[in-house]
Amino acid sequence: MDDYSFARYDKFGRVLAFGQKNLTDVSATDAPAHLTKLGNILADLDKAKAGQGGGSATPVGVLRDVLRLDVQNITRTARALAQDDPNYNVLFRPPESHNPHGLLTAADAILGHLIVAPTDDPATKTAKAARIAKFVGKGLPTDFAARLVADRSQIDDAHETENDADNDGVENTAAISRLVDEGMKECNSLDAIFHNVYTHNADKLTAWLSASHLQRVAKHAAAPAPPPTPKTNP
């Protein structure tokens, strides 16, 4: 199981433990059913990662989750920028649907308004550079557009890998992708429930946010600089 999948696997375990510990708080909702499903998903993930073997490539579902975070960060920032320039709401729209096609369509549209193409005229190039500067000014990393390009292309690469491969390890990798998607769906439902139940209980809500937090895997990091060469006295 790769780092991206394991981060979600770890989240599922924390969410399940929190839900089971605080089950009485949500017994009147359908949270118990979601927790049961999440427990089954965790058990299936244990089996899939044990049999993954050589199929260690990052599952497509996990890569989509990474891309979804990129798109959410950009569209959230665009809403803030649109307070001064409404055009940002037009150019940087969130996905129209929650399915993979909607996510990829939104990502491609966003890239079209940020990445310079060979056919762009000077005015368009200047406009795109200005947009990137605006996003960076709101706290996005200076290479956020390049990250979006890389995360988008990884999905196409993963599809090609899965289509070309035919072994048990890759089958288990595909199972992990599906199970991660299903687990995130259960977590999203539980997130809505616990937010609603703990609206007036700040301590419990803080504990839930801690348990359900998803740590994004560090990537695109520059290689550490080599240690300085010690000086020798003549």
Segments making up each domain of the chain, as ranges: 1-55+180-220, 60-164
Q: Nearest-5° angle of CA 72, CA 62, CA 103?
A: 40
Is residue 39 over pLDDT 90?
yes
pLDDT recorded at residue 64: 85
pLDDT tens-place string over residues 122-180: 999 999 999 999 999 999 999 999 999 999 988 887 766 555 544 545 566 778 888 98
Residue 234 has pLDDT above 60, yes or no: no
Structure tokens at 47: 């089996």
Distance CA 69, CA 169 (A): 27
List the one residue out of 186, 230, 220, 142 whose CA is nearest residue 30. Answer: 186
Under a CB-based contact definition with an 8 Å cutoff, are residues 88 and 188 in contact? no
Q: End-to-end alpha-carbon separation of the chain, Å?
A: 53
* pLDDT score recorded for residue 221: 42
Mean per-residue pLDDT for 49-65? Answer: 67
pLDDT at 77 over 90: yes
Q: Which residue has the higher pLDDT, 229 or 61?
A: 61
* Higher pLDDT, residue 157 or 37: 37
Place 1 in a pLDDT band, splitting at 50, 70 and 90.
low
Tally the C-alpha atoms within 13 A of residue 76's C-alpha that lie toward its C-beta.
9
**Count of CB atoms situated within 10 Å of the CB of 40:** 14
Q: What is the mean pLDDT of the chain?
A: 85
In the prediction, which pLDDT does 159 show?
63
Question: Which tokens hold the place of 141?
Answer: 């990393």
In this prediction, residues 83-98 reach a mean pLDDT of: 93
Per-residue confidence (pLDDT) for residue 75, from 0 to 100:
96
Q: How far is CA 34 from CA 7, 121, 197, 214, in A?
A: 20, 52, 15, 18
Query: For residue 230, what are the CA distances in angstroms to 223, 225, 227?
Result: 21, 15, 9
Residue 203 confidence (pLDDT) above 70:
yes
Q: What string of H, E and C letters represents the secondary structure of 85-130?
A: CCHHHHHCCCCCCCCHHHHHHHHHHHHHCCCCCCCCCHHHHHHHHH
- Give the pLDDT score at 157: 76
- The pLDDT score that the predictor gives to residue 188 is 93
Query: Model-level pTM greater than 0.85?
Result: no
